[in-house]
Chains A and B, each alone.
Chain A
Amino acid sequence: MTTTQTPPSDTTSTDDDFMAGELPTRRQDKLFEGITTGAGILILLTLAGVAFFLVQKSLPSLELPAESLPNAEDIGGYTWPLLFGTVYSAIIALLLATPLAIAIALFMTHYAPSKLAKTLGYVVDLLAAVPSVVYGLWGIFVLAPFFVPVYDFLADTLGWIPLFAPVVTPSGRNMASAALVIAVMILPIIASVSKEVFLQTPRLHEEAAMALGATRWEVIKTAVLPHGRSGVIGGAMLGLGRALGETMAIALVLSPTPGLIGFAVFTAQNPSTIAANIALSFPNFGGQERSALFATGLVLFVATFVVNYIARRIAGESTGY
């Protein structure tokens, strides 16, 4: 209404003036909206804070004396092998997990009876709920020793490929085991996103394929997979983002060699990853060297940010995920 001056006692007046009774309500509404908006802005401030402290704490690393970092001349030489290890382990894990995750999603949407599928979805969720430190322990004591004979076999028969070069480390604590553990951890993410897109396949497309006499696999090949492709790629990228940042499982399973860049996955010499290196080095480093860890953390933050951004762009096109 018009800007009429309301008396200061408007809150006490009851029914003599309709407008006066409405104003405090409006003010309460504005106040509540302000509070919720403020909470939203807090998100902005938190992220700005994360970026600010990472940058501020990593600035001293640019002026670190040459011999203060292990196996590196400067911060660039320190970060590069770690970034390599991070990306390398994540990509191997992704290559292992994605086909399996697609198969799981297909099983839950198109093969299992719908009641069973619900329970199975719960099992996959549980896989995502196990803490990474428990995965790490399991990786060292169960997964790595279990796969050592497999590594031996591959190194014996395919050892001429640089990837499978011998000598296999007897403990199994190598890049292959680390990638396997991460693959298990990112499996549920890729599977659940894929499941969502497979469920959204237009019913008519599937029925049309069936009406033409297609087998179940032909329905999937011609209707489900083409529809779900971008969603699956988006889910895989989300899994990649998680794999890049995985810390404790790698810190436990992988036995790292500082400063190394190498592609062999079975040997005892493995490149470390940014996240695992921070976890392993942080307690031992003094304030000055810690700035180098903050610098690597900043690189990791930016890398996961870019990957997640692309993932949501791709997945969002098909699912609005």
Chain B
Amino acid sequence: MQKSTPGASLETNKLSPLQLGGIVAVALLIAIAVSLPVPGTNVTMVVLLAGVIAVVATYVISRRVEGRRHAQDRIVTGLVTASFVVATLPLISLIYTTVSRGTNRLDMEFLTGTMRNVVGEGGGVSQAILGTLIITGIATVISVPIGILVAIYLVEYGRGQSLAKGISWLVDVMTGIPSIVTGLFAVGLFTAIFDPGYRSGFAGSIALSVLMIPVVVRTVEEMLRLVPMKLREASYGLGVPRWRTILKIVLPTALPGIVTGVILAIARVVGETAPLLLATGLSDEVNLNPFDGRMASLPLFIYNSYITPGVTVQASYDRGWSAALLLLILVGVLFGLARLLSAALTPKGLK
């Protein structure tokens, strides 16, 4: 036989997917065999152990068969993939826990009742659902027009101006404000106008708006920048004034992105708890007037059901989990809606 050519050695000295699968399977078997006699093992431990064994075994075998560099490559591939799996575990665990514990109380009484005069078990969250819708709704009504106008200013009018640069910078600052600080701001603002104990849904909406406006500005800005300059120029060429060009040409073109961005911004603030804790407070009964008195909300209801569970602790926890499930569903629906709308509203040519 002749000496093997370098090309042939590359072909032969390579682990096949089948062999790699075999290493993983053997590692899993070893891990199970080792951990079975140990008391108190759980699935996670076994999987973790199997992962470590598989990575070490792959490295050793690959190093002998394929050489050091390829062994290193395999290790990194294993670690990167494992990291991703590890990162998705919290999400899976969180969704599983919320669904399994949250369905305990997801009945009609829970959805339609209130917490008025409820001491032990029973009770409902209709006041919190309505409160969340009202508070988030007002925040949206305030934030969306302001956000879109600011974005129009930054993209259409302010290009190159130092004022626009400054405002763009301030939007960045605003993006980073911790939610609890917006709550303090709302408290400071409204107690300066009204009495020191003032709390209302509207104060909460103002706090949420401070969180929401920068998100809307940034997404709308990005969408407006995507509108081709040619469209604007064609419009100017037909003698259409600038403001009509923006309203009739630029905004409609960017609409799908804007709608998606707004929905995602709503999804971001709908679960905010800290600002409402300070500015709005919690109520046991339905309060439909955002300008008068405390108002319930789903996030704060969840927090409160753990912090002050009252006499029947488990009943309160169950209510908290069910409210958490409702909130997760709400956020999930908003996310799905954003995706569907962005797919449906995008003009066919741009897909």
User: Which residues of A does B touch, CB under 8 Å?
Assistant: 25-26, 28-29, 31-33, 35-44, 46-47, 49-50, 53-54, 56-57, 99-100, 103-104, 106-108, 111-112, 120, 122-127, 129-138, 140-143, 146, 149, 184, 187, 191, 215-218, 220, 238, 241, 244-248, 251-252, 275, 278-279, 282-283, 287, 293-294, 297, 300-301, 304-305, 307-309, 312
Is B175 in contact with chain A by the CB < 8 A criterion?
Answer: yes
Contact mask for chain B residues 139-171; partner A; CB cutoff 8 A; 1 contact, 0 none: 000000110011011101110000110110011
- Extra pairs beyond A54-B184, A248-B299 (20, CB < 8 Å): A28-B241, A33-B242, A38-B149, A39-B149, A41-B167, A43-B167, A43-B170, A44-B166, A53-B184, A57-B188, A130-B328, A131-B299, A134-B302, A136-B303, A136-B306, A142-B94, A217-B73, A245-B177, A247-B178, A301-B177
Within 8 A of A (CB), among B177-205: 177-182, 184-185, 187-189, 192, 196
Q: Could you show 8 A-B contacts with beta carbons less than 8 Å apart? A: A37-B163, A42-B146, A104-B84, A133-B273, A134-B302, A138-B90, A187-B87, A305-B176
Smallest CB-CB separation from B184: which chain A residue? A297
A50-B177 in contact (CB<8A): yes
Contact indicator B181/A50 (Cβ below 8 Å): yes
Minimal beta-carbon separation of A206 from chain B (angstroms): 15
Q: Which residues of A contact B320 (CB under 8 A)?
A: 137
Asked if B76 lies at the interface with its beta carbon under 8 angstroms from chain A, I say: yes
Across-interface contacts of A312 in B (CB, < 8 A): 172
Q: Across the interface, do B182 and A107 meet the contact criterion of CB distance under 8 Å?
A: no
Closest to A141 in B: B97
Indicate which residue in A32, A50, A56, A297 contacts B243 across the interface (CB closer than 8 Å): A32
> Is residue B81 contacting chain A, with contact meaning CB distance below 8 A?
yes
Bound state CA distance, A202 and B153, in angstroms?
A: 33
- Contact assessment for B306 and A252 in the assembled complex, using a CB-CB cutoff below 8 Å: yes
Q: How many residues of B contact A (CB 8 A)?
A: 88
Task: Check A275/B274 contact, CB under 8 A, given A54-B184, A217-B76, A304-B178.
Answer: yes
A285 to B76, CA, bound (A): 52
For B167, what are the chain A residues with a Cβ–Cβ distance below 8 Å? 40-41, 43-44
Residue numbers of B with Cβ under 8 A of A are 40, 44, 69-70, 72-73, 76-77, 79-81, 83-84, 86-88, 90-91, 93-94, 97-98, 101, 145-146, 149-150, 152-154, 156-158, 163-164, 166-167, 170-182, 184-185, 187-189, 192, 196, 210, 213, 217, 241-243, 246, 267-268, 270-274, 277-278, 299-300, 302-303, 306-307, 320-321, 324, 327-328, 331-332, 335, 339
- The reply to whether B97 and A142 form a contact with Cβ atoms under 8 Å apart is yes
